[in-house]
Structure 1
Amino acid sequence: NAPKDPTSQEILYNRQEDFYITKRGPDGEWEPVRNIGSPINTPIYNEGAQSLTADGQRMYYTVCRGNCNIFFSQKEDGKWGRPQKLPAPLNLDQFSEKQPSISPDGKTLYFVSNRTKGKGGYDIWRSHKTDDYMWSEPENLGDSINTPYNEQSPFIHFDNQTLYFSSAGHAGMGGLDIYMSQMLNDSTWSTPVNLGYPINTHRDEDGLIVNASGTMAYFSSDINPESGRDIYKFELPQEVRPIPSSYISGTITDIRSGWPLRAEYSLVDIDTEQTIMSNKASEDGTFFLCIPTNRNYGFFAFETGYLYHSEHFNLVGIHTADKPYRKNIELSPIRIGETMIMRNIFFETALYDLKPESVTELSKLFDLLSLSPTMKIEVGGHTDNVGTTEYNLSLSENRAKTVAQYLIEKGADPNRITWKGYGFTKPIGDNSTEEGRAKNRRTEIRVIGM
């Protein structure tokens, strides 16, 4: 918010809002700020209130001259590209839309607007991405969040469930206070919690953002009249922290050609069968997905004409996010002889009864059969080497049969499905270690006909 004319004594109208950037040096100190320049900053408009996608490659931000609208810019060769205004119905020329916050999967944009059909003043709205450029009709977040007064500065955390925002309408300390609310389901929110003193004061506090681990927060306040509006940071109290989030990143390619695939991928809570986040890989096959901790997840990557890939992340009881995951995924075309491992199929110990958390991946396999109506498969059961050969052959046979029967009972053609138990004859891990034995206890799918 630099002065247009440094020699002028005018304060209110002698301001130009631009974006600046600084980095923390090795000594922990912030480097001198620098203006990020064109094409984002302009000499005649005010730019501000940015929100970056989780991979840092797209920025949504506000442009104001009179009314405000939301623009975005895509990084190209490490530089920000030409800004583009988001279309209607997200932006409306006769109203203001500003202060965007993009969800970690890049599919939902939260913002404030003074458009009609709100609760009064500026409300928080959200819109869902329908393709690379278009957005759905915005929906008001409702009276759990919005009041007849102004709500400002929404920030959806990397857990995709915790929302921070400022409001002048909820019970507070005066001016704009910062609040936290969590999504109860896709359309309702918990009662907002005031972050309390000394964060909130009788002045205006807004613009809060929280790091991925949920421990540190930054916000702006005009509590000090001598310095104007400044940026502050603080350690977030435990009771208003989000779910700490890690991430998985990598590339998705064709296993034969190595060509990148714009495959879809999703993160599913396999205990509730709820899809937490989903997206599509970039043109170069790269993907980036936030993973909130303290849940039991299945990760799936799938592309038309290919066998899907699955991973399992059991983060139940883990409340820190200091271990990002890197995974390069190779998808196999649907051809006779190709195989895939189902990493989210679980059985009771030493039994062949499926655990409830297996349903998510079983449904994915059923969908694959439906999308590939000529494909025939063999369900293969595999064990570690604990126990006799006869015992493990019988156990693996029964487990494979259980999976096949589940698919048939769900409606799959029994003529397209066979099963076989291999015991411990085809290990993929070292049976002398627990990690290796865990890899060997698996269910595999092999294409046997087309």
Structure 2
Amino acid sequence: MRKNLFHAVLLLFASATFALAQKIDKKALREGDYSYSQGDYKTASEYYEQILPAAASNAEIQYRAGVCYLEMGYEKKAITHLEKAGQLKPDVHQDYLYMMARAYQIAHRFDDAKAKFNAFIKSSQNTEDIAAAEERIRQCDVGKELVDSPVRAKIDNIGGVINGKYSEYAPVIAADESVMMFTSTREGSTGGLLAPNGEFYEDIYESRHVNGQWLAPRNMGEPINTQYHDACIALAPNGDELFIYKDKDQDIFVSKKRGDGWSKPKNMGSNINTKYSELSISITADEKTVYFSSNRPGGYGGFDIYMSKLDKDGDWGPAVNLGPLINTGRDEDAPFISSDGQVLYFSSRGHETMGGYDIFISFFEENKWSEPVNIGYPINTAQDDIYFVLSADGKHGYYASGKEGGRGGKDIYIITMPKAVDEEAVTTKATDEATADQQMKVEKQKTENLAAGKTKSAVTILQGKVFDEITLKPVKAMFTLVDNATGEVLSEQNSDSLTGSYLVTLPSGKNYGIAVSKDDYLFHSENFDLPPSDDYQEINKDIGLKKIAVGSRIILKNIFFDTDKATLRPESNTELDRLYDLMVEVPTLKIEISGHTDNVGSAAHNQKLSENRASAVTDYLLKKGIGGGRMTFQGYGFTRPIAPNDTPENRQLNRRTEFEIKEN
């Protein structure tokens, strides 16, 4: 009787299982399997999700669903379905152990992953598969080490204004984080077409940061976006040049800002682009050097990172491989050069990683790049970590990841870097033993990783608006940045034609002269003496330009004299030549050059010093060929201060050379 009851129960179970199997939507299964065979895991997972409730005992469907989630980066879902597949049928697929191990690795269950990889090695006869598993085991060892000594970084999803159910990735930012551009496969693409993976073709979007919030992004439209894949890969620090990867050409293009629009993207030329693939790029603050990735022949293997400099004709020069310390036999990609040009971030599969791509950092020291260092966990994970960019102040990094818990596909994340976390920590007093204990652990972290604070942000951001001093309307003006010590023009850029806004990045360690010029206006000059420093600062300065008219007066801020003398120093030449050019361009101009001092010393001494300094400037222009009848000079000593003579800084303001238009 018990035997008959057992058979009845068994038959009932078999009937229920058969009935459950009958509920599987065959069309959904067929479509899911087809998408799976094409590597379109996103679409496949959507079909499998329709049938998974009815496929609880189907090992093959559970396995394929698990692989889909694994390839999409959803390790928790992957583990759930892969473990279930293995319980139902341990030999469900020849790659089951390898896939299960990968899922554990991505979930940072490194010991479980190593056990599965070792089991896979014992079961496999394929030497390539065995080598791949052995490499994964080494990655697990690296991962354990990095997770045990995490860097002080905080990672947050940037939020639903930017991220949606489709993928967002490859964020690029202006140096001051005022603008972000990113790539997305969301609906509303320029071509409106679906790619083979079931998502829309890539388009580039722009968002602005206003009052602490990212605004709703806008599709940048034509000519930036086309009906094909268009991905942003870099933005010049001042936001005036956008670099684009076009999949149709597998080349890098550049577009320049034109008022409220952008120019048609232009191929960067044969020294950058080849018949092979160039995937990513980064440009220095002076816009004279680029770092980019390419798989052209002659490298060290896979994609390598190269450097190119702008030549005197404005073309990009020959590409130079960064060499075997940076590049390996595998892929190096997604370079990002810091604002001061001294720190290179890039992603690599060939250096010691936790799995896939990890982000590495190298410093330019003694005229060469240092050995790259993994920037650590939690910035790096066992998934691909790539396309990392950093704000000029070094406080925020941005990248994209397919982390579980995201809003769909890849999302953009903001990283509060160790530097910023440390600054927050000093303002927070330890109030309990747990906090103090955590502080002790922090102090024991390895000095070679990013948390040691080696990252520098030795730059000054100068930003503001240029306007007509009378009408207050925005002016599109040329900014010329000069190294006063050498006279070398470091960069030239325009303020925005609609808003007049500008942004200039100044690495420390130089004395800079900046001239702002516009036709029919007097040029405006500024001087910034930035000694070597690791400090970041922002200077906001609005600049009013004066029309060329009788009575207009400007201060020549890049005229320098020896202390208490009227001897012009060589670094004055650029400013003096700028004044000479103005006199040549406007031959009717007649000016007065005046010298001014602070109130240190006697009135007679300062009067004589100011006259001699004004005379020295006049003599320079006379020797260059400007007629003496067009110039007069006058010393005013300390009788015309522009600031109280009560601090060293104010006295510095009063020691100046001016010129005033007397006739035009």
| Greater per-residue strand proportion | 1
The answer (yes or no) to whether the contact 2:462–2:503 under 8 Å persists in 1 is yes
Residue equivalent to 1:87: 267
**1:181–1:280 Cα change, 3 Å:** farther
**1:150–1:195 Cα change, 3 Å:** same
Kindly indicate whether residue 527 of structure 2 is the aligned counterpart of residue 312 of structure 1. yes
The answer (yes or no) to whether the contact 2:287–2:491 under 8 Å persists in 1 is no
Could you give the per-residue CA deviations for residues 264-313 of structure 1, whole angstroms, max 9, x where no partner exists? 11233324444443201222333222233454322211124432111122
Alpha-carbon offset, residue 115 of structure 1: 5.0
Alpha-carbon offset, residue 209 of structure 1: 1.4
The answer (yes or no) to whether the contact 1:125–1:138 under 8 Å persists in 2 is no
The answer (yes or no) to whether the contact 2:460–2:538 under 8 Å persists in 1 is no
- What residue ranges of structure 2 are gaps of 5+ in the alignment? 1-39, 49-63, 72-195, 420-449
Kindly indicate whether residue 491 of structure 2 is the aligned counterpart of residue 296 of structure 1. no
Alpha-carbon offset, residue 72 of structure 1: 5.3
Give 1:345's match in structure 2, choosing from 555, 559, 566.
Answer: 559
The farther-off stretch of 282-291 and 426-435 is 426-435
- What residue ranges of structure 1 are gaps of 5+ in the alignment? none
Distance 2:208 2:243 in 1: 20
The answer (yes or no) to whether the contact 2:516–2:524 under 8 Å persists in 1 is yes
Residue equivalent to 2:234: 51
Kindly indicate whether residue 179 of structure 2 is the aligned counterpart of residue 140 of structure 1. no
Q: If the length of structure 2 is used for normalisation, what is the TM-score?
A: 0.53
Distance 1:129 1:375 in 2: 37
Distance 2:576 2:225 in 1: 53
Give secondary structure in 2 for the equivalent of 1:296.
strand
Residue equivalent to 1:250: 465
Distance 1:329 1:112 in 2: 42
Distance 1:182 1:406 in 2: 43
Matches within 5 A, 1:231-242: 233=415, 234-235=417-418, 237=450, 238-242=453-457
Distance 1:252 1:306 in 2: 11
Could you give the per-residue CA deviations for residues 312-346 of structure 1, whole angstroms, max 9, x where no partner exists? 2233265333433122321332x444322111223
Residue equivalent to 1:384: 598
Distance 1:312 1:62 in 2: 38
Could you give the per-residue CA deviations for residues 191-214 of structure 1, whole angstroms, max 9, x where no partner exists? 564346556789754322122112
Could you give the per-residue CA deviations for residues 334-388 of structure 1, whole angstroms, max 9, x where no partner exists? x444322111223344333334543442343344345445544432111223333
Q: Which amino acid aligns with 1:140?
A: A
Residue equivalent to 2:347: 166
Q: Which amino acid aligns with 2:235?
A: L
| Greater per-residue helix proportion | 2
Distance 2:610 2:208 in 1: 55
Matches within 5 A, 1:6-405: 6-8=45-47, 11=68, 14=197, 16=199, 39=221, 46=229, 48-56=231-239, 59-64=242-247, 67=250, 70=253, 84-87=264-267, 89=269, 94-104=275-285, 110-115=291-296, 121-124=302-305, 136-137=315-316, 139-144=318-323, 150-160=331-341, 162-167=343-348, 176=357, 178-180=359-361, 190-191=369-370, 193-195=372-374, 205-219=385-399, 233=415, 234-235=417-418, 237=450, 238-253=453-468, 255-256=469-470, 258-284=472-498, 285-316=500-531, 319-333=534-548, 335-373=549-587, 375-405=589-619
| Higher Cα Rg, which structure | 2
Kindly indicate whether residue 603 of structure 2 is the aligned counterpart of residue 424 of structure 1. no
Distance 1:330 1:208 in 2: 39
Distance 2:344 2:394 in 1: 12
The answer (yes or no) to whether the contact 1:151–1:166 under 8 Å persists in 2 is yes
Alpha-carbon offset, residue 116 of structure 1: 6.5
**1:372–1:71 Cα change, 3 Å:** closer
Distance 2:332 2:463 in 1: 33
The answer (yes or no) to whether the contact 2:466–2:476 under 8 Å persists in 1 is no
The answer (yes or no) to whether the contact 1:70–1:97 under 8 Å persists in 2 is no
Q: Which amino acid aligns with 1:151?
A: E
Alpha-carbon offset, residue 404 of structure 1: 2.8
Alpha-carbon offset, residue 154 of structure 1: 1.8
The farther-off stretch of 41-50 and 140-149 is 41-50
The answer (yes or no) to whether the contact 2:308–2:320 under 8 Å persists in 1 is no
Alpha-carbon offset, residue 396 of structure 1: 0.6
Residue equivalent to 2:61: none
Distance 2:579 2:619 in 1: 13
Distance 1:438 1:250 in 2: 25
Alpha-carbon offset, residue 424 of structure 1: 2.2
Alpha-carbon offset, residue 401 of structure 1: 2.0
The answer (yes or no) to whether the contact 2:597–2:637 under 8 Å persists in 1 is yes
Q: Which amino acid aligns with 1:365?
A: L
Could you give the per-residue CA deviations for residues 106-134 of structure 1, whole angstroms, max 9, x where no partner exists? 6766543345687764344567899xxx9
Distance 1:363 1:76 in 2: 30
Distance 1:151 1:430 in 2: 57
Alpha-carbon offset, residue 105 of structure 1: 5.5
**1:397–1:192 Cα change, 3 Å:** farther
The answer (yes or no) to whether the contact 1:49–1:100 under 8 Å persists in 2 is no
Aligned pairs, number: 435
**1:312–1:35 Cα change, 3 Å:** closer
The answer (yes or no) to whether the contact 2:252–2:267 under 8 Å persists in 1 is no
Q: Which amino acid aligns with 1:214?
A: G
Could you give the per-residue CA deviations for residues 241-263 of structure 1, whole angstroms, max 9, x where no partner exists? 3424423221243x455554332
The answer (yes or no) to whether the contact 2:481–2:491 under 8 Å persists in 1 is yes
Give secondary structure in 2 for the equivalent of 1:166.
strand
The answer (yes or no) to whether the contact 1:181–1:191 under 8 Å persists in 2 is yes
**1:247–1:119 Cα change, 3 Å:** farther
Could you give the per-residue CA deviations for residues 117-158 of structure 1, whole angstroms, max 9, x where no partner exists? 87764344567899xxx9835641334466775431121333
The answer (yes or no) to whether the contact 2:236–2:285 under 8 Å persists in 1 is yes
**1:265–1:391 Cα change, 3 Å:** same
Distance 1:432 1:22 in 2: 46
Q: Which amino acid aligns with 2:245?
A: T
